[in-house]
Structure 1
Amino acid sequence: MFHGGRGYDHCATGAPAVPPGSPASCQRSHRPSSRFEWYLSDGGDPAELVSAWLSSNGLPVRKLGRSAEASHPNGAGTICGSSLYVSATAGSVMAGGAVGQPTPVPEIPDVVAVLYRHTDPAEVAGEALAALPDGDAESSEPTWSLGPWTDSWSAREHANAVRAVHDAIRRGDVYQVNVVGHASAPYTGDPGVALQRVTKLPGARYGGILTGRDWVIATASPETLVEVRAGRVVTRPIKGTRPATAVGRRELLASAKERAEHVMIVDLERNDLSRLPGTGPVRVDELFAVRRWSGLWQAESEVSAPIDGDLGLADLLRAVCPGGSVTGAPKLAALDVIAACEPVGRGAGMGALGWIGPDHVDLGLTIRTVAVTGGRVHLWAGGGITIDSDPAAEVAEAAAKAAPIRAALAGPGAAGEDRPPCG
């Protein structure tokens, strides 16, 4: 599970792979020094195992949010923080729920932590420059070619999954379930520049890249799964989507269905935070605020609680993973329905990816996220299903979420395809 060494801190192009959620002030003055990896087949409690590893490497993950006023050294060799990735499968294990179908990207571990140490910025810049090919990597992409997308289910099968959720709701098993589709495409050449385009999509709060020996995860996620900072724990669920037009914004604000779906997830997140040890009363700081991601309006809320005791990372992960906005309510019952409905595991999608610092945690939800391994690019997209959901509209919504990712991967001027993935 432990892997030492330099790590894999560059895309194939040589461009720096910026860790999602890492402090901007450190992104050119830190480098990976060692890593932790856990696969489902390893067994054990991944929340405790990764917490123990981070703690043994000097990060105060046993008492989160209690050192906000502390002074942390930032000289060469000192700890900057750690990237942390948790797959949807690992999150289900942490929550005690069904893990679903096998992942389509088995090369990617289910939990990854990469420890970063401060170094001389000039040294990092020199290494990045030496790794770049001749010419401007952003303007030359002669070797990249993306093949046709293949969906793991058809539009009809996706619609049937929506109907299966309706049946589960009528039985009283669940109130809402998020169903997710998967698509993959072959590629040739160097994916680095295309993945950098993904991370720069408008609204990508957690835009960044995590790399391994034979794989890359690139995310354009706008959603905060959980943040711990300055004595508070915060989650910002997103639920509700419309095209980013004036009409789309009005429709989203006026939709009783979207608001009801959103409020269900806000209530779920309130419950998740209320189960945390060492926290005070949970409150909703903002409800149904409309934000823009790429060409879409999305509704976001903020739920938080003060930290007034000892809160550890392991308990935090068990409470918030997998994210409520990509599971449903009640969470464990929703995971059962997901395992029965979805033909392919969620892999790198619908998990967590972000940063653990000496004085904060900032993890994004891996929506709007792609994985590259084995000569293929993979993506996932879906949406929340309530009793009022229209199957055809849900298929179209998933396609709308996947479309900007597909376009970023294809590149400027790429020919369109017959239909978008995951729809």
Structure 2
Amino acid sequence: MVHGTGPVDHCSSTPFGAPPAAPGACQARHHALRAFRWHRGDPGDPAELLSAFLADNGLPVRNLGRTDDKKKTFGDSTICGAALYVSADAGCVMAGAALGAPSPVPGIPDVYAVIYEHFSKNRPFGTPPLLLSPASHRLQSGLAWELGEWHDSWTREQHADAVSRVRAAIGRGDVYQVNVVGHASAAYRGDPAAALRRVAGLPGARYGGVLAGDGWALATASPETLVEVRGGRVVTRPIKGTRPATADGLRELLASPKERAEHVMIVDLERNDLARLPGTGPVAVDELFAVRRWCHLWQAESVVSAPLDGDVGLAELLRAVCPGGSVTGAPKLAALAQIAALEPVGRGVSMGALGWIGHDHLDLGLSIRTVAVDGARVHAWAGGGITADSDPIAEVDEAAAKAGPLRSALKS
């Protein structure tokens, strides 16, 4: 048996709703069947172990460029696809990078994949999957939601100091850019389901959804594509550059040399990540510095893509793109070493990958604007890219602006 596999912890019919990027045509038809789990410190290569698990369940992850509409069947059910979550820590392991501080939510696996099935017409509606077992530790289902005060893992002064230290590292030539992320948590009581659904429903959440496990759940309002494979092409859509969603904010974002330089640097990094993949053709920048809206913020997004001319497997793809360049920096391994030294609390469920793998496509969002609950506290992360021209206080304020909609959604 593949390491870490077993029954799923929650069925897709829980009050949390659908997982991120699950196909709309599958809503109310798919049911969780079995799951894969891998934690930081577990033996083995998580990319290879995950690939073996998904391949054994009929998903074409050994050659992502091949469209396969012949879904694998198990008894009277058909495998639809898999929800997939990969933490920033797991991405570091896959990339051979330095690991930072431990996650503040250690009960959540660093890799979690759930196989979903479609029942045949012969199975009575509502009959549970044979391999589905109930969770042994439930969240506070049915109780009134109450959120306590937020406690940041570092002060504004400490955050600003970290930005200054990155600027010093840039000045020494150690790195060109580093993404610095802060963490905050708050105690809660009651059922988190409605609050997590509000997070997933924030405006601009391209990957809005919830994934739940045994005594934990995470919700994302991510607007950013880490990697998508569809129609024989691999695509990433890095986001870098933020301003308030006002007319003045738009003008500032478009006119800012600092934001454009920061953005172009990450686009170049993503081009390099895709170019390192065996089996890809020429890498193209299909769109550069397009402005999109997320909640009350303007953000700059580009589209980078390449054709899949040969065999490209999931393990190779994850090693190439994880952790995402827009939440690490450049050069990526050097930036991750800075991050490991600077951030006092691990990135947990944030800054990883979260999405769906089907028979004919893969679509993983970057788990920014993502929160987690663990039965006692809710956790959130926010940060931004630091360059030589960054103003420390402005960077602290930008991180707070990104966290604001998440906190509001959780409180409502």
* Conservation of the 8 A alpha-carbon contact between 1:89 and 1:347: yes
1:138 aligns with none
Aligned to 1:106: 106
What one-letter code is carried by the residue in structure 2 that aligns with 1:102? P
Match of 1:7 in 2: 9
The separation in 2 between residues aligned to 1:120 and 1:153, in whole angstroms, is 52
Aligned twin of 2:206: 205
Which residue does the alignment assign to 1:91? 91
Question: Residues 45, 142 of structure 1: CA spacing in aligned structure 2 closer, same or farther, 3 A cutoff?
Answer: closer
Cα contact 1:17–1:211 (8 A) shared by 2? no
AA partner of residue 306 (structure 2): A
Percent identical: 68
Query: Where does 1:43-62 land on structure 2 (aligned, <5 Å)?
Result: 43-62=43-62
Structure 1 CA distance, aligned partners of 2:304 and 2:42? 34
Q: Structure 1 58/151 Cα, relative in aligned 2: closer, same or farther at 3 Å?
A: same
Given residue 320 of structure 2, which amino acid in structure 1 is its aligned partner?
A
Is 1:252 matched with 2:253?
yes
CA deviations on 1:320-355 (whole Å, 9 max, x unpaired) are: 000000000000000000011100000000000000
- Residue identity in the other structure for 1:315: E
Contact 2:205–2:294 under 8 Å retained in 1: yes
Report the equivalent of 2:80: 80
**CA 1:49–1:71: 2 relative to 1, 3 Å:** closer
* Partner AA of 1:151 in structure 2: D
Structure 2, unaligned runs of 5 or more: 129-141
Residues 85-127 of structure 1, C-alpha deviation per residue, up to 9 Å, x if partnerless?
A: 0000000010110111111010001000100001269977799
Give the AA of the match of 1:396. Answer: D
Alignment of 1:353-364 (within 5 A): 353-364=354-365
Cα separation, partners in 2 of 1:377 and 1:95, compared to 1, 3 Å: same
Q: Which residue is equivalent to 1:421? A: none
Which position in structure 2 is the counterpart of 1:272? 273
- Counterpart of 2:295 in structure 1 is 294
Conserved in 1, the CA contact under 8 Å of 2:369 and 2:381? Answer: yes
Contact 1:47 1:94 in 2 (8 A): yes
- Give 1:21's aligned residue: 21
Distance 1:145 1:120, change over 3 A: farther
Secondary structure of 1:148's counterpart equals strand
Equivalences for residues 123-138 of structure 1 within 5 A: none
CA contact (8 A) 2:145 2:188 kept: yes
Whole-angstrom distance in 2 between the partners of 1:208 and 1:124 = 24
Q: 2:318 maps to which residue?
A: 317
Query: Aligned pair count?
Result: 395
* C-alpha distance in 2 between matches for 1:92 and 1:234: 21
Structure-to-structure mapping, 1:398-409, within 5 angstroms? 398-409=399-410
Give the direction of change, closer, same or farther, for the CA distance of 1:192–1:16 in structure 2 (3 Å limit).
Answer: closer
Q: Which residue identity is paired with 2:9?
A: G
Distance, in Å, in 2 between the alignment partners of 1:243 and 1:67 is: 41
Deviations 1:155-198 (A, max 9, x none): 00000000010011011110000000000000001111000000
What residue is the counterpart of 1:386 in the other structure?
387
Query: What do residues 249-279 of structure 1 show as CA deviations (whole Å, max 9, x unaligned)?
Result: 1111111100000000000000000000111
Give the equivalent residue in structure 2 for 1:368: 369
Which residue does the alignment assign to 2:36? 36
CA distance in 2, matches of 1:207, 1:124: 27
TM-score, scaled relative to structure 1: 0.90
In structure 1, C-alpha distance between the alignment counterparts of 2:71 and 2:249, rounded to whole Å: 46
- What SS class does the counterpart of residue 147 from structure 1 fall into? strand
Letter in 1 for 2:34: S
SS at match of 1:181: strand
C-alpha distance 191-10 of structure 1, shift in aligned 2 (>3 A) = farther
Aligned equivalents of 1:126, 1:113: Cα separation in 2: 22
1:49 Cα deviation from its structure 2 partner: 0.7
Aligned partners of 1:9 and 1:17 also within 8 Å: no
Change in Cα spacing, 1:125 to 1:176, as seen in structure 2 (3 Å) is farther
SS in structure 2 at match of 1:149 = strand
Question: Partner of 1:234 in structure 2?
Answer: 235
CA distance in 2, matches of 1:58, 1:396: 46
CA distance in 1, matches of 2:99, 2:407: 27
Partner of 1:414: none
CA distance 1:215–1:332, shift in 2 (3 Å):
same
3-state secondary structure, aligned to 2:77: coil
Aligned 8 A contact 1:28 1:125 in 2: no
Q: Hey, what's the Cα distance between the residues in 1 that align with 2:172 and 2:280?
A: 35
SS at match of 2:102: coil
Q: Which region of structure 1 is more displaced relative to structure 2, 279-288 or 118-127? A: 118-127
Letter in 1 for 2:24: A
Cα distance, 1:71 vs. partner? 4.8
2-structure distance, mates of 1:290, 1:236: 12
Shift of 1:247: 1.1
8 Å CA contact 2:329, 2:385 repeated in 1: yes
SS at match of 1:112: strand
